[in-house]
Structure 1
Amino acid sequence: MHDTRLLPSVLLAGCGKMGTAMLEGWLSQGLRPSVILDRHDQTLPHPHRHIRQTEELPADFIPDVIVMAVKPQTSDSLLHQLTRHFAGVPVLSLMAGRTLESLSQHSFAHTGHPPAIIRAMPNTPCALGVGMTGLYAGPHVTEQQKHDCEKLAGAVGKTIWVEQESQMDIVTAVSGSGPAYVFLLAELLEKAGIDQGLPPHTARELARQTIYGAGCLLSHSTLDAAELRTRVTSPGGTTAAALNVFMAPDAWPDTVTKAIQAAVSRSEKLAS
């Protein structure tokens, strides 16, 4: 009988940055005995096991979920082997741009089971347990399989399901890539502070803590972001002067829209 307090067991294929971030979150919350498949050395607490190739898969191990965190272009042969070995086990794919159709065609054709695939798009704050993961379930996924995958993703942050697979491209553009946009803002705020005469260490601390604090306030508030912005902005004040520049028609409103559109288009192209 499974201990329901523990996360579902996984066969984690790939332990790069995202795979490692998620694994650390799972281990910290308690994970049923699992196996990590990765060519690099891994130090794992008992009873979890590390293997370097599929030939080393333990005969006594059947995971609740196969988690694919390898590079998309090298995944087909590996996923084919794993779905053959663990027939009927659902796949949680973290691979950007790999659609249900492409995963099914290349990897499930000879298993005798309908492809139970869930796509997930996490982001790097998962490493600290404050990530955001968008999820989409294929038509052959059961409610229990959805629950197991949501539990795994929820162990490293918040989760949200989308109803159409095409929306995963938008999830990728908004939250998957989103941390990079915030890091760019921090970079630019720091540079602007230095250009205006602040010492570099002072500008760096001001920029980083301001973004951290604003993020915390946004996360804990029930108010819309627009309302929070308004409450910080006194008419005719310093904030209003800066926002008049940021919110000019050809500034942030136009640029952010174009940037997200560019990211969505690139995600769609990678999937084709």
Structure 2
Amino acid sequence: MSEAKTTSEQATVKGPLLLVGCGKMGGALLSGWLEGGTPAEQVHLVEPNIESVAGFIGQGARHHRSVADLPGDLVPQVVLLAVKPQMMEQALADLPSWPAESTVHLSIAAGKPLAWFEQRLGAAAAVVRAMPNTPAAIGRGMSVLVAAPRVDAAQRALCTSLMEAVGEVDWVEDEALIDVVTALSGGGPAYVFLLAEVLAAAGVKAGLPEQLAERLARVTVAGSGELLHRSPEAAAVLRRNVTSPAGTTQEALEVLMAEGGLQALFDEALAAATRRSRELAQ
């Protein structure tokens, strides 16, 4: 994978920040920004459901029911587009036109490539596309970003800083890789939750009470994830640390790691998800 990591140590929001859409992901990002020291009064928030953003308004964020209600003299440093993909067309149709040197547009909408935004915002627009995942809700997300040619280094660093408010960040230079990122980390939490489900179901089939099996699976998956997060060791090393030669775990791994086992299933699953992501982008 061709990657370009960007440091955000000196990246700060110096001008207004416009957040269009404040659902679960938009709200998680805004919470992270405010906790990180972004002044609430610097944030312009577009969200028709005022009840869902009352807390942010109470902190000083400036609320607008629609893009059409934005102040005419507003020139945001960043426009974070967090509306659902099917609502993006209308959001952009009402959005004022700002020069690329003053405003970067950062989209977290799945299935909307850079070319789609350039067709609507103009080829000269500074556009960054990000693919976050749901652990962003607890500050443990993973986001991968890709930038249009007009995005400069300072704008890249600023986008990195904003997405780091909810977890870790990396960049790719080839936009086609975002489809693979979508398949792996975008959908990854669902695969982990499925693992907890199937572990519990297998435990019940083996004779455990359902409540105990679900608890064992849940705590085991959560604890193992935290161990992986904190440990400098690779996942393969941690796996081997749990596995005694000729022991019970080894017996189970012989099944899971057999030809046609877990690796083959995930290869097939990610290929299917990547293919679907590319279809949705058409």
TM-score by length of 2: 0.88
Alignment partner, residue 47 of structure 1: 60
1:93-127: per-residue Cα shift (whole Å, max 9, x none)?
10111111111012326xxxx11011100000000
> What residue is the counterpart of 1:210 in the other structure?
220
Equivalent residue for 1:142, pick from 136, 152, 173 = 152
Q: 1:46 & 1:162 partners in 2: Cα distance? A: 35
- Aligned equivalent of 2:3: none
The C-alpha deviation readout for 1:160-206, integer Å capped at 9, x for no partner, is 11121111111111101100000000111111122222222222221
The answer to whether residue 108 in structure 2 is matched with residue 98 in structure 1 is no
* Larger mean Cα displacement after TM superposition, 192-201 or 249-258: 192-201
- 3-state SS of paired residue (1:241): helix
- Contact kept, 8 Å, 1:83 with 1:108, in 2: the verdict is no
Counterparts of 2:115 and 2:60, CA distance in 1 = 35
Q: In structure 1, what is the Cα distance between the partners aligned to 2:49 and 2:262?
A: 43
Q: What residue in structure 2 maps to residue 220 of structure 1?
A: 230
- Distance across 2 between alignment mates of 1:181 and 1:30: 34
Matched, 1:237 2:247: yes
The worse-fitting range, judged by mean Cα deviation, of 59-68 and 237-246 is 59-68
| 2:47 paired residue number | 38
CA RMSD of aligned residues (A): 1.8
1:69 maps to a residue whose letter is: A
Deviations 1:35-89 (A, max 9, x none): 11111112123331111112321345432210111122321232243242x3431
Residue aligned with 2:109, SS:
coil
Range with greater deviation from structure 2 (8-17 or 238-247)? 8-17
Residue 70 of structure 2 corresponds to residue 57 of structure 1: yes
> In the aligned structure 2, how far is the partner of 1:116 from the partner of 1:209?
44
Among 160, 173, 182, the alignment partner of 2:192 is 182
Amino acid at match of 1:105: Q
CA distance in 1, matches of 2:278, 2:67: 31
In structure 1, which of residues 255, 268, 272 is the aligned counterpart of residue 278 of structure 2? 268
Query: Percent identity among equivalent residues?
Result: 44
Tell which deviates more after alignment, 218-227 or 138-147.
Answer: 218-227
Instruction: Look up the SS of the partner of 1:104 in the other structure.
Output: helix
**Secondary structure, aligned partner of 1:240:** helix
Give the letter for the 1:104 counterpart: E
- Check whether the contact 2:18–2:79 (CA below 8 A) recurs between aligned residues: yes
Return the alpha-carbon distance in structure 2 between the equivalents of residues 24 and 200 of structure 1: 37
Query: Which SS does the other structure have where 1:155 is aligned?
Result: helix
Cross-structure match for 2:5 = none
Partners of 2:11 and 2:157 within 8 A in 1: no
Instruction: State how 1:77-88 maps to structure 2 within 5 Å.
Output: 77-84=90-97, 86-88=98-100
Structure 1 regions of 5+ residues with no counterpart?
A: none
Matches within 5 A, 1:1-20: 9-20=16-27
Larger RCO: 1 or 2 (CA < 8 Å, sep 6+): 2
Counterpart pick for 1:129 among 134, 139, 150 = 139
Unaligned 5+ runs, structure 2: 1-9
C-alpha distance in 1 between matches for 2:119 and 2:73: 29
**Aligned residue type for 2:47:** D
> Which among 20, 24, 35 is matched to residue 28 of structure 1?
35
AA matched with 1:187? E
Moved more, 221-230 or 237-246: 221-230
SS in 1 for 2:169: strand
CA contact (8 A) 2:11 2:158 kept: no
Aligned residues: 264
Asked whether the 8 Å contact 2:133–2:189 carries over to 1, the reply is yes
Deviations 1:199-252 (A, max 9, x none): 222222211111111111212222221121111111111101111111111111
AA aligned to 2:86 is Q
Q: Which runs of 4+ in 1 moved over 4 A?
A: 4-9
CA shift digits 1:116-149 (9 cap, x unpaired): 0111000000000000001111110011111111
Structure-2 separation of matches of 1:236 and 1:203: 25
Match of 2:210 among 197, 200, 204: 200
